[in-house]
């Protein structure tokens, strides 16, 4: 079994006449909408009260703050102003114990998680703590609390990732809660929103246990469907049927085996068999055991882990974000272009996602050289059952 034919004629752009490279899932810091969605339940409608402490904004002048200084400032504040333990800001309350837990997450991230999840968890721990401490300083007229909020902010800016991403997230969140941090310039806000939608969608896809996918490809100048793929994709199992003219193929992936069958042309075109191997397979199901490269090839296309990379824009593909309403439903729309190596042209892609905190994809349209491919995704999270064929021949009989 050869990988290239299978990849080029299955869930990629064969119908569109061009093939982008397999795209690695973008590892983005959860900025903007991602962090806001994560905190929505706890910080809905968060707003800081009107200022009672008249002083310059502690978020404007950069401070060089170490971890011990942050920890000391927080400890001193709670010791000197015990009333802060009973203070509540928009339903948020940090006792001496809970603020220590949150501060540890802010400084170090969640134990056992990996970048960029660590970066995201740090931002979502730091932001509400900054908001809480600053709000207490304003409400209770405690300048030390306002100063402490500034120290925590500048520590987060300098030490979470060491890149601009943390500050973009913090500024966007804190500014939305009416803290006097500088608002993001329009271009940065737009870029943060685009990255956030992509990150939210990627995380949401991987959290789902299944999705139903239908792909229809059309050739330029033709109203008919040149290729049709129907797939039910699960976390460890999946099914796929492919048809293009008289050529067909079907694939089933279980936790222990992968199976395929099809017409001679379908086996060569969609599965990647040689003509000799296709003749040996005939119309029978062929069984491939888990642990082999061939099993991994088939499972890579028909399980959830591969879906974000196959449908979301890659890092480096600048996607333009907009919103619209389709059939009374608000949606996000991402538009971007790719230039696959060796294709000699550009591929235009448009992805429509639900405008919710999950941002799950609804449809994707791809066009290249006048050809097009339309993808619909629905029935997210529904149970799927993949049964092994009643009989199948081992792959060794086909490849020998």
pLDDT single digits (tens) 76-91: 999 999 999 999 988 8
Residues 155 and 215 in one domain: no
For 129, the 3-state DSSP assignment is helix
Average model confidence (pLDDT) across the chain:
80
The token pair at 200 is 């939210």
159, 177, 195: which is the final residue of a domain?
Answer: 177
The answer to whether residue 5 scores a pLDDT higher than 90 is no
- The H or E element spanning position 319 is none
149 and 239 co-located in one domain = no
Is the residue at 202 inside a domain? Answer: no
Task: Domain count for the chain, please give it.
Answer: 2
Kindly state the average pLDDT of the residues 92-108. 87
Tokens 């055991």, located at residue: 289
Instruction: Return the pLDDT at 138.
Output: 94
Q: How far apart are CA 8 and CA 11, in angstroms?
A: 8
Share of the chain above pLDDT 70, in %: 80
Distance (Å, rounded) from C-alpha 108 to C-alpha 160? 9
pLDDT digits (tens, 9 = 90+) for 62-79: 888 899 999 999 999 999
Residue 33 has pLDDT above 80, yes or no: no
Give yes or no: residues 54 and 10 share one domain: no
Residue 226 sits in the same domain as residue 364? yes
pLDDT higher than threshold 50 for residue 1: no
For residue 34, is pLDDT > 60? no
Q: What is the per-residue pLDDT for 316?
A: 65
**pLDDT at residue 288 greater than cutoff 90:** yes
Range from 162-171, 229-238, 270-279, 341-350 carrying the lowest mean pLDDT: 162-171
Per-residue pLDDT reduced to its tens digit, 149-194:
999 998 888 877 544 556 777 787 888 888 988 776 777 777 777 8
Q: Is residue 185 part of a domain?
A: no
Domain membership of residue 197 (yes or no) is: no
Q: Can you give the pLDDT at residue 389?
A: 97
Q: What are the angstrom distances between the C-alpha of 234 and each of 134, 241, 317?
A: 45, 15, 27
Residue 385's pLDDT band, with cuts at 50, 70 and 90, is very high
Q: Is 361 among the domain residues?
A: yes
Q: What is the CATH number of the domain that holds 364?
A: 2.50.20
The predicted-structure confidence for 334-348, as pLDDT tens digits, reads as follows 999 987 766 667 899
250 in the same domain as 149:
no
In a domain, 54, yes or no: yes
Write down the pTM of the prediction: 0.64
Q: 19-28, 127-136, 370-379: which has the minimum mean pLDDT? A: 19-28
What is residue 114's predicted lDDT score, i.e. its pLDDT? 41
Cβ neighbours of 385 (radius 10 Å): 8
**Residues 20, 55 within the same domain:** no
> pLDDT digits over 298-328, tens only?
888 889 998 998 899 987 678 899 999 999 9
Q: 353: which strand partners?
A: 332, 361
CA distance 121 to 107: 10
Q: Which domain holds residue 158?
A: 48-177
Do residues 371 and 222 share a domain? yes
Same domain, 293 and 364: yes
**Domain match, 53 and 168 both:** yes
Indicate if 219 and 94 belong to the same structural domain.
no
Confidence (pLDDT) at 23: 27
Instruction: Kindly state the average pLDDT of the residues 1-5.
Output: 29
Backbone region of residue 140 per phi and psi (left: phi > 0; alpha: psi in -120 to 50; beta: other values): alpha
The tokens for 220 are: 């330029």
Q: 143, 137 in Cβ contact below 8 A?
A: yes
Percent of the chain with pLDDT over 90: 49
Question: How much is the pLDDT for 189?
Answer: 72
Q: Is residue 44 over pLDDT 50?
A: no
* 10, 301 contact by CB (below 8 A): yes
pLDDT of 338 reads 86
Residue 188, both tokens? 């940065």
- Confidence category of residue 119, pLDDT binned at 50, 70, 90: low
Residue scoring higher pLDDT (36 or 146): 146
Confidence of residue 329 (pLDDT cuts 50, 70, 90): very high
Segment 129-137 shows an average pLDDT of 94
Backbone phi, psi, residue 228, to 5°: -135, 130
**Which of 88, 90, 94, 55 lies closest to 75, judged by CA?**
94
Whose tokens are 């737009």? That residue is 190
Last residue of a domain, one of 134, 155, 177: 177
pLDDT of residue 124: 81
Which of 33-47, 214-228, 279-293 has the weakest average pLDDT? 33-47
SS3 336: strand
**Element holding 286 (H helix, E strand):** strand 286-289
């Amino acid at each position: 079994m050869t990988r290239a034919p299978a990849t080029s004629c299955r869930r990629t752009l064969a119908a569109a006449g061009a093939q982008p490279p397999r795209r690695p899932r973008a590892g983005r810091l959860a900025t903007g909408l991602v962090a806001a969605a994560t905190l929505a339940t706890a910080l809905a409608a968060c707003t800081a009260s009107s200022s009672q402490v008249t002083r310059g904004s502690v978020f404007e002048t950069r401070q060089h703050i170490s971890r011990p200084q942050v920890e000391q400032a927080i400890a001193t504040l709670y010791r000197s102003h015990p009333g802060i333990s009973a203070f509540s800001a928009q339903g948020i309350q940090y006792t001496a114990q809970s603020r220590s837990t949150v501060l540890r997450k802010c400084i170090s991230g969640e134990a056992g998680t990996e970048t960029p999840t660590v970066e995201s968890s740090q931002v979502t721990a730091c932001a509400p703590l900054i908001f809480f401490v600053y709000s207490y300083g304003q409400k209770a007229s405690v300048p030390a609390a306002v100063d402490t909020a500034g120290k925590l902010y500048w520590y987060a800016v300098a030490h979470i990732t060491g890149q601009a991403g943390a500050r973009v997230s913090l500024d966007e969140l804190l500014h939305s809660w009416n803290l006097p941090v500088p608002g993001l310039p329009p271009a940065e806000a737009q870029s943060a929103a685009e990255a956030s939608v992509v990150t939210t969608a990627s995380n949401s896809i991987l959290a789902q246990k299944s999705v139903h996918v239908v792909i229809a490809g059309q050739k330029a100048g033709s109203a008919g469907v040149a290729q049709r793929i129907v797939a039910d994709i699960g976390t460890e199992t999946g099914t796929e049927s492919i048809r293009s003219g008289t050529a067909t193929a079907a694939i089933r992936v279980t936790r222990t085996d992968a199976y395929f069958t099809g017409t001679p042309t379908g086996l060569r075109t969609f599965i990647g068999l040689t003509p000799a191997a296709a003749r040996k397979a005939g119309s029978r199901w062929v069984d491939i055991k888990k642990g082999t490269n061939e099993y991994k090839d088939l499972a890579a296309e028909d399980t959830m882990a591969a879906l974000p990379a196959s449908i979301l824009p890659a890092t480096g593909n600048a996607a333009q974000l907009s919103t619209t309403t389709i059939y009374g439903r608000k949606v996000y729309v991402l538009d971007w272009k790719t230039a696959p190596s060796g294709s000699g042209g550009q591929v235009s892609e448009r992805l429509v996602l639900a405008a919710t905190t999950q941002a799950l994809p609804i449809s994707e349209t791809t066009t290249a050289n006048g050809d097009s491919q339309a993808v619909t995704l629905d029935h997210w999270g529904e149970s799927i059952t993949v049964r092994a064929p009643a009989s199948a021949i081992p792959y060794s009989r086909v490849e020998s």
